[in-house]
Amino acid sequence: MKEEVTTGNNNSAHLLSQGIVSNGFIFVCGQVHADTELKLVGETVAEKIEQIMQNISAILKAADATLDNIVKVVIYVTDMAQMPELNEVYPTYFTKPYPVREAVCVSALPLGATIEISVIAAK
């Protein structure tokens, strides 16, 4: 069984499901640093992460969850040189125990973004 999660805003560059609840987990669609009008925002990694986490938080809220429910994070970047700043900013959004995380370098992301994050949260 699965249930769609939506914020009512189009803050997903994929234009598909923003999230799915299934078997006690919330699967959040990859989010880039775009606002609800799908315009990229942020100059610094910190500003980009702030927008991404706002997008993820909105989807989790629609599923009655918060960032504290996240158990796994996948971060996609177009340049690994972003990782040192990302590693400084990223932990500020979580409490211990931190979600497990993986980082993947890709050649391109939706809308020309430089960072995309997808998460899995426990319901």
Q: What is the CATH number of the domain that holds 67?
A: 3.30.1330.40
Query: 3-state secondary structure string, the chain?
Result: CEEEECCCCCCCCCCCCCEEEECCEEEEEEEECECCCCCECCCCHHHHHHHHHHHHHHHHHHCCCCHHHEEEEEEEECCHHHHHHHHHHHHHHCCCCCCEEEEEECCCCHHHCCEEEEEEEEC
Q: What is the pLDDT of residue 10?
A: 59
Alpha-carbon distance 8 to 23, whole Å? 23
59-117 pLDDT per residue, tens: 999 999 999 999 999 999 999 999 999 999 999 999 999 999 999 999 999 999 999 99
Q: How do residues 39-52 score in pLDDT, each as one tens digit?
A: 999 999 999 999 99
**16-35 confidence digits (pLDDT tens):** 788 999 999 999 999 999 99
Q: How many domains does the chain divide into?
A: 1
Q: What is the pLDDT of residue 15?
A: 59
- Range of the structural domain that residue 83 is part of: 2-122
pLDDT(123) > 70:
yes
For the entire predicted model, the pTM comes to 0.92
Nearest to 32 by CA among 18, 10, 48: 48
